[in-house]
C-alpha cells in the first residue's frame, strides 16, 4: 500500500496571508486618504551649502477616486501660503502627479474641482513624495 503525503498547505496559507496583508496595508497607507499625510523626503540629508543653493524641488503625489482607485487625468494645482499659483499638473499613470515648486515654503496642493481635497505641505530643500492621495469625489 502506497502512502500519500498531504502537501504542507498550512504553512503556505499562513505565508501567503501575511504577504497579501502587508501588500494591502502598504497600498492603503500610500493612497488611503489625505487627512494625515505623510511627507517623505526622496533624497538623503543635505549640507547647509547645498540647501541654500536649491531654488525648487519636485513634489510628487497621487489622486484616487471615491473607491481609492488611482485616477488618471485629474487636474491638480499648487498654491503658496499667500495664494499665488505655483504650478499645475495632471495625474498620469497610476494617478501620480509631479510638480516643481519653490523650496523652503508651505505649499497647498489641491484638486481643481468643486469641493476637491487639498493638502498643506511644508517644503524643504529636497524632493518630497506625499504619502497620502487627494481623493476625487463624484459631483
User: In this predicted model, what pLDDT tens digit does every residue of 77-125 receive, in sequence order?
Assistant: 999 999 999 999 999 999 999 999 999 999 999 999 877 889 999 999 9
Q: Is residue 3 part of a domain?
A: no
**78 Cβ neighbours under 8 A, 6+ residues apart:** 59, 85, 86, 87, 88, 89, 99, 101, 107, 108, 109
Residues of the domain holding 27: 10-135
Q: Domains in the chain: how many in total?
A: 1
Residue 5 placed within a domain: no
Residue 20 in any domain: the answer is yes
| Cα four-point dihedral sign 62, 117, 78, 90 | positive
For residue range 39-63, list pLDDT tens digits in order. Answer: 444 444 445 545 567 789 999 999 9
Instruction: State the CATH number of the domain containing residue 65.
Output: 2.60.40.10
Does a structural domain hold residue 127?
yes
Answer whether residue 108 is part of any domain: yes
Amino acid at each position: 500500500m502506497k502512502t500519500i503525503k498531504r502537501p504542507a498547505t498550512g504553512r503556505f496559507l499562513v505565508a501567503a496571508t501575511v504577504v497579501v496583508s502587508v501588500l494591502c496595508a502598504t497600498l492603503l497607507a500610500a493612497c488611503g486618504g489625505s487627512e494625515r499625510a505623510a511627507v517623505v523626503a526622496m533624497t538623503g540629508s543635505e549640507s547647509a551649502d547645498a540647501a541654500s543653493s536649491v531654488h525648487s524641488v519636485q513634489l510628487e503625489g497621487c489622486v484616487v477616486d471615491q473607491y481609492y482607485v488611482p485616477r488618471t487625468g485629474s487636474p491638480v494645482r499648487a498654491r503658496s501660503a499667500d495664494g499665488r499659483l505655483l504650478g499645475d499638473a495632471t495625474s498620469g499613470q497610476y494617478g501620480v502627479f509631479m510638480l516643481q515648486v519653490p523650496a523652503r515654503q508651505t505649499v497647498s496642493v489641491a484638486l481643481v474641482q468643486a469641493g476637491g481635497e487639498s493638502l498643506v505641505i511644508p517644503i524643504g530643500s529636497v524632493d518630497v513624495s506625499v504619502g497620502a492621495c487627494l481623493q476625487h469625489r463624484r459631483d
